[in-house]
């Protein structure tokens, strides 16, 4: 699933083109993709977007008149592209906005399951939709992070992915951040020393910024990630093969030398207990 660096890179790329021209035609819109029906998406026609914004892993496109907001959550398989005038688009997009200049904003989703969503909302309703989200991960700082860690006794990998606690990090960047901070994914949030909190705060910013920079240059997963999805590959710091462990419904990747003092983590997948 795209996380803060990926979505922020898209936001920056989309900001100028989406506000260049008013919307000429809104649609087609797959019935499973568009999650709201009032107002209808046709309400966007003739309006100009004010640009692209981001909150956590969501993209927001407010209209210039301040009346409407298009909110897009791409989930795992959704992709959003801006096509220049004359560029050929997909035959059956999940959602499309065609602009007067001939450009198009196109949402596609691989697979039969339509999980990506588009909401057309008033600014007030959009604010409500986002109210549950915690502060943005990038630029959080050690003080604010310490408060979040203190607020609940949780394993770090789980807490970092909790959008209500801190917004924008998913399983891939949680792996990268914890490796960079040299912390175990299973470490408990309230047990960290001041030094460890500082390391974690630094790692959140440095890893998300590294990801953003690489994504803006169009780098693919293989080059962007150094730990995530790298089972058996040498750790880029110490050369130990990267290990993998199942945790809740996720798979965690980590370096046993850098992060867990050589200990191999045991599975904590919930489904194992149910078998």
Q: How far is the CB of 194 from Zn ion (least distance, A)?
A: 23
CA distances from 197 to 63, 95, 147, 265 (A): 40, 42, 10, 21
From 53-61, 91-99, 160-168, 228-236, give the range in contact with Zn ion by CB under 5 A: 228-236
DSSP label of 136: B
Structure tokens at 230: 């790298």
Q: How far apart are the first and last CA of the chain?
A: 28
- Rounded to a whole number of angstroms, the CA Rg of the chain reads 20
Q: How far is the CB of 265 from Zn ion (least distance, A)?
A: 14
Q: How far is the CB of 6 from Zn ion (least distance, A)?
A: 25
Q: How far is the CB of 238 from Zn ion (least distance, A)?
A: 3
258 sits near Zn ion (criterion: CB under 5 A) = yes
From 40-48, 136-144, 194-202, 230-238, give the range in contact with Zn ion by CB under 5 A: 230-238
* Residue in 42, 238, 267, 270 binding Zn ion, rule: CB under 5 A: 238
- CA 189 to chain CA centroid, Å, is 22
CB 105 within 8 A of CB 14: yes
1 sits near Zn ion (criterion: CB under 5 A) = no
231 sits near Zn ion (criterion: CB under 5 A) = no
Cβ neighbours, 10 Å, residue 11: 19
Q: How far is the CB of 235 from Zn ion (least distance, A)?
A: 3
Residue (114 or 244) nearer to Zn ion, CB: 244
* Residue in 56, 140, 156, 255 binding Zn ion, rule: CB under 5 A: 255
Task: Looking at residues 166 to 205 of the shown chain, list those that interact with Zn ion (rule: CB under 5 A).
Answer: none
Residue (211 or 256) nearer to Zn ion, CB: 256
* Residue in 167, 235, 243, 265 binding Zn ion, rule: CB under 5 A: 235
Q: How far is the CB of 234 from Zn ion (least distance, A)?
A: 8
Tell me which residue has its CB nearest to Zn ion: 235
* Residue in 51, 134, 237, 244 binding Zn ion, rule: CB under 5 A: 237
Number of amino acids touching Zn ion (CB under 5 A): 7
Q: How far is the CB of 269 from Zn ion (least distance, A)?
A: 24
CA distance linking residue 221 with residue 211, whole number of Å? 10
For the chain, where are the E strands, in sequence order? 23-29, 53-55, 58-62, 69-73, 78-83, 95-99, 104-109, 117-121, 243-247, 250-254
CB 7 within 8 A of CB 54: yes
CA distance linking residue 241 with residue 52, whole number of Å? 40
Binding site for Zn ion (CB under 5 A): 235, 237-238, 240, 255, 257-258
């Amino acid at each position: 699933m795209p996380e803060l660096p990926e979505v922020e890179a898209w936001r920056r790329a989309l900001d100028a083109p989406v506000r260049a021209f008013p919307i000429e035609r809104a649609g087609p819109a797959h019935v499973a993709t568009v999650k709201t029906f009032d107002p209808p998406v046709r309400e966007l026609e003739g309006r100009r977007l004010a640009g692209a914004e981001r909150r956590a892993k969501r993209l927001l496109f407010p209209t210039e008149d301040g009346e409407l907001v298009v909110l897009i959550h791409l989930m795992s398989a959704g992709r959003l592209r801006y096509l220049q005038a004359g560029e050929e688009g997909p035959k059956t997009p999940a959602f499309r906005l065609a602009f007067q200049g001939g450009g198009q904003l196109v949402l596609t989703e691989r697979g039969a399951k339509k999980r990506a969503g588009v909401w057309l909302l008033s600014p007030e309703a959009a604010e409500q939709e986002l109210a549950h989200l915690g502060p943005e991960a990038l630029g959080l700082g050690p003080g604010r992070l310490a408060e979040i860690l203190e607020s609940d006794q949780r394993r770090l990998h789980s807490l970092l992915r909790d959008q209500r606690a801190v917004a924008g990090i998913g399983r891939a960047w949680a792996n990268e951040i914890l490796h960079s901070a040299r912390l175990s994914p299973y470490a408990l949030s309230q047990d960290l020393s001041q030094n460890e909190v500082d390391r974690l705060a630094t790692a959140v910013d440095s890893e998300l910024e590294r990801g953003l920079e690489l994504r803006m240059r169009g780098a693919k997963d293989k080059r962007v990630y150094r730990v995530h999805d790298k089972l058996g590959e040498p750790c880029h710091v110490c050369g130990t093969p990267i290990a993998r462990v199942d945790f809740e419904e996720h798979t965690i990747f980590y370096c046993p030398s850098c992060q867990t003092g050589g200990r191999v983590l045991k599975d904590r997948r919930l489904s194992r207990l149910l078998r």
